[in-house]
Structure 1
Amino acid sequence: MQFTADQTDLAAAVSYAAHSLPAKPPVPVLAGLLLDAGDDTLRISAFDYETSSDTTIAAGVMDTGRALVSGRLLTDIASRIRGAVRVELTGPRLVLTAGSARFTLPTLPLEDYPALPDAGAASGTLPGPAFTEAVTQVASALGHDDALPVLSGISLHHDHGAGTLTFTATDRYRYAVRTLQWKRCDLTGDRTTLAPGKASWTRSRPSPATAPST
């Protein structure tokens, strides 16, 4: 595996994916970020058996391939370097070069890493800033009682007739609701699902968002 990428794009993608890394991973490989260099793209993924993160950036790929490296180390390095970044997999090491800076990271065993979940087809799209605002608003009413996990989730309701997606949350004492208009939604009929509130809140970000299947 060998590729080049813009430092700003790489740092943003690594930081985004790293948010899903567990603080205390049950197995060492879950502390890693999976790098997959394909046709002029670099896919960066994280997975802890419950929540997955996946993002893709443009890259100049000379040799395709995959590598699993420590998410903490890669995040720290990517945030400090500047300019164009060259990454090359050399045996069990990932060598990252930017200007006069050079870093060598040990890789983690790919064969021990779990298969990433299939996100499925998109149901529609929502404006990123509006999605972030909606999730943040309703998250103020999330419950925190582990004995009642249903109250710690955010309900997503698709109204087929109105073409809207409504976010709601309640801890039995407070109730928060926000409705957004879908774009290019292909769902048929009304649909409702419950998303883990903590994951939805921490993963929302102000960028164009593709809504998950419901």
Structure 2
Amino acid sequence: MRQVAVIDYGMGNLHSIAKALQHVGEDVEVVVSAEPEVILAAERVVFPGVGAIADCMAALQRLGLDEVIRRVAADRPLLGICLGLQALLEESEEGGRVRCLGLLPGRVVRFSAGLRDEHGLPLKIPHMGWNQVWPTRSHPLWEGIDAGTRFYFVHSYYAKPARAEDVAAVCRYPDPFACALARDNLFAVQFHPEKSQWAGLRLLQNFLRWTP
């Protein structure tokens, strides 16, 4: 049976993610673990996260999971979700300047104050709720998901990758920002697939089928 590991470092909606993966996976065993040997034994890995990036990085380093994630990213499918996307970049301005994993060049910045929509109405921070996602290139994880499909977001910071080719999708709030990044066997999303109904389940199913 194929094994999928969900990284447990104390910051993530782990039960919902594991349940969603189990729901869409045939002959898949989902394990939630903080043990490096368990994670490294899995065929593919999910890196979720909610909360503050400084706490995320401190927990990863304390548990030795920062190096585990780097090893996983080198040789098997890795899916980052929400904070798990932001941590893949080089640094975040949240809480000052926090060094991240550096697997993708770029940084994480906060939405500017005073944002307004096309009608001049103020936009709230955090960006919370359903919003459309527009793929910028084809990728196996978009299979069966139309451009403009809505996914569920909750975040105040967003990724600014240094390379345009790493962007896999954008969302508008109100200007376009990168909401999915992809390179080689790494794919990461700012939205929450486990909260995004059929579209999120389809993306997770695509991840389980993906062979980079």
* TM-score of the aligned structures, taking structure 2 as reference length: 0.28
Higher helix share: 2
* TM-score of the aligned structures, taking structure 1 as reference length: 0.28
For the pair shown, the structure with the greater C-alpha radius of gyration is: 1
Higher strand share: 1
